[in-house]
Amino acid sequence: MSADIAGPTPVEIIPSILAADFGRLVADVQAAMEVGVTTVQVDVMDGHFVPNISVGLPIVAALARATDVRLDVHLMVHEPERHIEAFAGAGADVLTVHVEATRHIHRAVGRIRALGVAAGAALNPGTPLVLLEEVLPELDVALVMTVDPGFGGQAFLAAMLPKVERLRAWVDAAGLTVAVQVDGGVSAESAGALARAGATQLVAGTAVFGAGVPIGEAVARLRAAAGNRDAGPRPAVGTSSS
């Protein structure tokens, strides 16, 4: 299985359910699907690799049963290789692991792909991009975190924009079909700069499910901002998400 790779236009908006109302989770996801969202991200946190604890296998399995949405599962957990088979079995379509969380990123990515699931690798803000270099040809998704992971609603770190640009350049130079995904503080204020930097997938939680407007309108705002590649300066470091 390979990830659906967005082309230069439009950038794909991937809502993160971390910011959704879990009392009406399926309804919120379906509302996003009604405006053309095909993928949502499930942020799995263990309270060890990151300070927070979030959702796990039952949520992935429930969404797989109740919807047709593609499930992009972001494993923010220590030793993610211990959980790959379980999340694949629960219905994950994409599994992303952190290079900081495993000693054997190449082996972890290979196990994901062997299960017929698209493979992603993620980097925290303080992790050098070079740690992805050797495994990049094996990936479907390369994820640059633009906040320190562990909590939703954090301020976007604009200092990560050059990192996104370098990753895009690597992917293009190698002729790879790897989605350049960004997660953290994505909003209508940061989406345009991220698109100009070369991101093809933007993960947004608060800016979709916590924007104070209908979900469809929130998604439309992000799409419009990401499509407006030629307008506006880069946001200042610390610009907050919506």
What's 133's domain CATH number? 3.20.20.70
Q: In a 3-state reduction of DSSP, which class is residue 162?
A: helix
Q: Which amino acid is at 90?
A: A
In a domain, 103, yes or no: yes
Q: For residue 47, report the phi and psi dihedrals to the nearest 5 degrees.
A: 70, 10
Identify whether the C-beta of residue 18 lies closer than 8 Å to the C-beta of residue 54.
Answer: yes
Q: Quote the tokens at residue 57.
A: 């296998």
pLDDT value of residue 156:
85
User: Are 41 and 75 a contacting pair, CB within 8 Å?
Assistant: no
pLDDT recorded at residue 153: 66
Give me the active site residues, please.
43, 183
How many independent structural domains does the chain possess?
A: 1
202 within some domain: yes
The answer to whether residue 235 sits within a structural domain is no
d(CA 143, CA 191) in angstroms, rounded, equals 15
Omega of the bond leading into 10 within 30 degrees of 0 (cis): yes
pLDDT of residue 5: 41
Q: Specify if 164 maps to a domain.
A: yes
The tens place of each residue's pLDDT in the chain, 242 residues long, gives 344 443 455 799 999 999 999 999 999 999 999 999 999 999 999 998 988 889 899 999 999 999 999 999 999 999 999 999 999 999 999 999 999 999 999 999 999 999 999 999 999 999 999 999 999 999 999 999 999 876 666 788 889 999 999 999 999 999 999 999 999 889 999 999 999 999 999 999 999 999 999 999 999 999 999 995 544 433 443 333 33
> Is 199 a member of any domain?
yes
What pTM, to 2 d.p., does this model score?
Answer: 0.88
Residues 12/202, Cβ–Cβ less than 8 Å: yes
The whole-number pLDDT of residue 3 equals 42
Residue 232 lies in a domain: no
Please state, in angstroms and as integers, the Cα–Cα distance from residue 182 to each residue in 30, 74, 241, following that order.
23, 12, 13
Q: How far apart are CA 115 and CA 127, in angstroms?
A: 28
Question: CA–CA separation, 2 vs 198, rounded Å?
Answer: 20
Integer Rg of the chain from CA:
16
Give the number of other CB atoms < 10 A from CB of residue 9.
10
| Coarse DSSP helix, strand, coil percentages of the chain, rounded to the nearest 5 percent | 40, 20, 40
What is the pLDDT, as a whole number, of residue 219? 96
Q: Write out the residue range of the structural domain in which residue 177 sits.
A: 12-227
Q: Assess contact for 25 and 17: CB atoms under 8 A.
A: yes
Query: Angle CA(205)–CA(44)–CA(124) in degrees, nearest 5?
Result: 75
Asked if 99 and 136 touch (Cβ cutoff 8 Å), the reply is no
> Does 89 fall in a domain?
yes
Residue 64 lies inside a defined structural domain of this protein: yes
CA pair distance 150, 50, nearest whole angstrom: 5
What is the Cα 89 distance to its own chain's centre?
Answer: 20
pLDDT at position 44: 96
